A and B are shown apart, each in its own frame.
Chain A
Amino acid sequence: MPTALKIEDLSFRYDRRGVDSPPVVRVNSFVLGTGEMALLRGASGSGKTTLLSLIAGLLNPTLGRIWIADQDLHALHGASRDRFRGRHLGVVFQTFHLLHGFTALENVLAALMFSDIPRREHDARARGLLDRLGIERLDARPEALSVGQQQRVAVARAVACRPTLVLADEPTASLDPDNACVALNLIKDACREAGAALLCVSHDPAAEEQFERVEDLSSLSGRS
């Protein structure tokens, strides 16, 4: 089975000089197939966000390797890794991190800037995505949109580059249970439509019901 994400013997600890700090993240083995969706649960402070940063190539592991679309991510350096991230990864943040000063449409176009999708297709793709996700005010700035609309723009931005893998970091943390369910379905539908695998990290028990595959971060490290 082709894999979207493969992790082997991953360990990460913060480099504090003179202090032998324990690993923040340890994953013995984890594989996510193409188009597969999984929830990674863990308590607050268990290293979920750090793991996502490692998978996104924003941090370098102390030990171990991560493959995305069969590419050893940390074998790439500098701009090559940035380019790879722009083409293969989408990220949905808990607080969306939309670009202020940019319109809803431009936020999606910003993700397309770094993709390998031809520039002439950017506008139509961004408009199409926002249309499918129910955003009508394409020229509205993020601050003029409701929380739900901002999340839809964030989802559209995450899948805009036709990524191999979408990472969702606590996407339901600030939502009530009803809206959390709607938001997760939105993300899953968008990933399914884009053919992207989804790795969602959350400590919300209600989110577990939305995924067929649920992994516990502590069990991945063999500490359970």
Chain B
Amino acid sequence: MALSGSKVVLRSMLGRRFQTVTTTLTVAIAVGLLLTILSMRDATRQTLERGSGNMHLVVSAEPSAMVSVLNAVFHAGTPSRALPWLQVLQLRRDPRVAYALPMQQGDSFEGYPVAAVEPEFFESFSPDSSFDPASGNAKGRWLVSRGRNIEGRFEVVLGALVARESGLRIGDTLQLTCGLGGGGFVHEGFPYTIVGVLELSGTPHDRVIFADLVSGWIVHAQDKRDREGGGAGARVTEGDLTSADRLVTSVYVRGVVRDGRQVSSAIAELASELRRTPSLTVASPSAEIDALFRIVNRVDRILIAMAFVVLVSGAVSIMLALYSAGQMRRREVATFRVLGASRGQLVRWVLAEAMALGVMGSVVGVVFSLAGGLLVSAGLKAQLGLVVTPSVSPWGIGVVGVSAVLLAALAGVAPAVLAYRTAVAEHLRPLG
């Protein structure tokens, strides 16, 4: 088969495999880093926005709106303060409120956070923001994929990821632990029965165990009585619960919306009124997510800048590799000139080699970014419960890939000039 320019370039690259591999890896790491950051940023935002579902406000007693959203929506930590049940009732009486769904957090099972809610929670709240419980349309409603919803006391339903990862099955029983970390106080004597598994929603709620709210009050009231009585007292029943026992850590609030709309005009007015009560923290999840992203974007920009620096360093390493190869192989360049290669051909070969390194680095970088995305996504799931599906957009791949190849081509200019300026007669002597 005849020799071609591409084969000459390939031979050149194979002739210095180590440099080719290390240079390709440098470019690949930069491309992978850039694509991972870009893809995770978009995917994380989508996931965070999905987490708040069809609610409009979170009302809690947390010290800040951001903490309120992180705890109530993303189950990131244990709430520090509670709201009285009376507050829930007041919200429910407000004609501007479509639903006010109480939640009590603070317990866990084997590291999975537990959210105690009323059985009606699943009829109204949905991770799908388009679901309007008042419309009568079931589209977008959060259903169980197996078993049934909570109907009685001491029943739980599992988030889809809890069911997948923990090995727990419908019919199994579990006892909750106080606090989110391991080693907490176990609420013994109150086994909960698993009655269902929720559909996968792609939100932090997938790694939550949803328990019956009243049962949670009973468990905590029993603990309180036992502590105060200095030992095991009489078993607490629903009828024994006082208003002091009926505490919630947050309330999901949705405003009344007109048909076909997802935004309530009255909700801003309601939020403003509620904020006048000093003990309440009223948070708009979308506003807090925006604020969170403004913080994250600053870090993003630094990371993207760093990745560009790595990309430029990759280009520099291409230049150094080709330049040093060019220095060592000036006699070979001179030989090609004697055989009839023009200066232009030599320049094209060097630039083609640089661009080939850029292309190979970009391709490997895309693979790196997919692996990196999976790693980051696993980390986010484990640490924050965020289910982020990393996806690299073709646009992102195109822009980063083309940038890498152009930078590589630019890096090839100096070595190409070296080849262009090789004095043939000088480098073919001395002949001995």
Taking a contact as CB atoms under 8 Å apart, the answer to whether B339 and A79 are in contact is no
Judge whether A3 is part of the interface by a CB distance below 8 angstroms.
no
A179 to B432, CA, bound (A): 17
A106 beta carbon closer than 8 Å to chain B: yes
In the complex, chain B residues 311-349 whose Cβ is within 8 Å of any chain A Cβ = 331-332, 334-345
The segment from A26-34, A113-121, A129-137 that touches chain B is: A113-121
Which of B92-100, B378-386, B422-430 lies on the face that meets chain A? B422-430
Tell me if A122 and B2 are in contact (CB < 8 A).
yes
Q: Within the assembled complex, what's the spacing in Å between the Cα atoms of A119 and B3?
A: 9
Is A110 a contact partner of B3 (Cβ separation < 8 A)?
yes
State whether the Cβ of B1 lies closer than 8 Å to any Cβ in chain A. Answer: yes
A85 at the interface (CB under 8 A from B): yes
Q: Does B431 contact A (CB under 8 A)?
A: yes
Distance between B6 CB and nearest chain A CB, rounded to angstroms: 12
A120 smallest CB distance to B (angstroms)? 8
Asked if B428 contacts A83 (CB within 8 A), the reply is no
Q: Is the beta-carbon distance between B343 and A82 smaller than 8 angstroms?
A: yes
B331 touches A106 (CB 8 A): no
A159 to B370 CA separation, bound complex (whole angstroms): 53
Task: Point out the residue from A91, A97, A119, A169 that lies within 8 Å of B331, measured CB to CB.
Answer: A97
Q: How many A-B residue pairs have CB under 8 A?
A: 93
B-contacting 9-mer, from A49-57, A188-196, A207-215:
A49-57
Q: Report whether over half of chain B's contact residues are helix, strand or loop; otherwise say mixed.
A: helix
How distant is the Cα of A86 from the Cα of B336 in the complex, in angstroms?
10
When the two chains form their complex, are residues B2 and A109 in contact, meaning their CB atoms are under 8 A apart? Answer: yes
Report yes or no: B425 in contact with A59, Cβ–Cβ below 8 A.
Answer: yes
B235 within 8 A of A: no
| Chain A 44-75 per-residue mask, 1 if CB under 8 angstroms from chain B, else 0 | 00000110010010110000000000000000
Q: How far is the CA of A110 from the CA of B7 in the complex (A)?
A: 10
Q: Closest residue of chain B to A173, judged by CB?
A: B432
Number of interface residues of A (CB under 8 A): 40
* Closest B residue, CB atoms, query A98: B335
**Could you tell me the distance between the alpha carbons of A59 and B334 in the complex, rounded to whole angstroms?**
13
Note all chain B residues with C-beta closer than 8 A to A152.
none
Cβ of B129 within 8 Å of any chain A Cβ, yes or no, is no
Does B14 belong to the interface (CB within 8 Å)?
Answer: yes
User: Is B227's beta carbon under 8 Å from chain A?
Assistant: no
Complex interface bits, A150-194 against B, C-beta within 8 A gives 1, otherwise 0:
000000010001000000011001100000000000000000000
Asked if A58 meets B337 with Cβ closer than 8 Å, knowing A95-B431, A109-B3, A123-B1, the reply is yes
**Contact A93 B431, beta carbon cutoff 8 Å:** yes
Give the CA-CA distance A82 to B347 in the complex, in Å. 14
Q: Let me know if B11 and A93 touch, CB within 8 A.
A: no
> Which residues of B from 135 to 166 have beta carbons under 8 Å from A?
none
Determine whether B15 belongs to the interface, using a CB cutoff of 8 Å to chain A: yes
Shortest CB distance B431–A (Å): 4
- CB of B12 within 8 A of chain A? yes
Question: How many B residues have CB within 8 A of the partner chain?
Answer: 30
CA distance A30 to B429 in the complex (A): 24
A93–B428 alpha-carbon span in the complex (Å): 9
A53-B425, A97-B428 known; A112 vs B3 contact (CB < 8 Å): yes
Contact yes or no, A114 B431, CB < 8 A? no
* Chain A residues positioned under 8 Å from B4 (CB to CB): 113
Q: B341 to A82, Cβ gap below 8 A?
A: yes
Q: Contacts A53-B425, A97-B331, A97-B428; is A78 near B343 (CB within 8 Å)?
A: yes
Residues of A within 8 A of B340 (CB): 82-83, 85-87, 111, 113-115, 161
Closest to B15 in A: A101
CB < 8 Å neighbour of A79 from B7, B14, B336, B344: B344
Q: Do residues A56 and B338 form an inter-chain contact, with CB atoms below 8 A? A: yes
Chain B 1-26 interface mask (CB, 8 Å, partner A; 1/0): 11110011001101100000000000
Q: Which residues of B contact A94 (CB under 8 A)?
A: 431-432
A99 within 8 Å of B by Cβ?
yes
* Given A58-B425, A93-B431, A109-B3, residue A99 in contact with residue B342 (CB < 8 A): no
* A100 contacts partner chain B, Cβ-Cβ < 8 Å: yes
For B334, list chain A residues within 8 Å (CB). 97
* With A85-B338, A97-B334, A173-B431 already in contact, 4 other A-B pairs whose C-beta atoms are closer than 8 Å: A53-B428, A101-B11, A113-B341, A157-B339
22 cross-chain CB contacts under 8 A: A56-B338, A58-B425, A78-B342, A82-B342, A85-B338, A86-B341, A93-B431, A94-B431, A95-B432, A97-B335, A99-B332, A110-B3, A110-B8, A110-B336, A112-B2, A113-B340, A114-B340, A115-B340, A120-B2, A123-B1, A157-B339, A161-B340
Binding site for B on A (CB under 8 A): 49-50, 53, 56, 58-59, 78-79, 82-83, 85-87, 91, 93-95, 97, 99-102, 106, 109-115, 119-120, 122-123, 157, 161, 169-170, 173-174
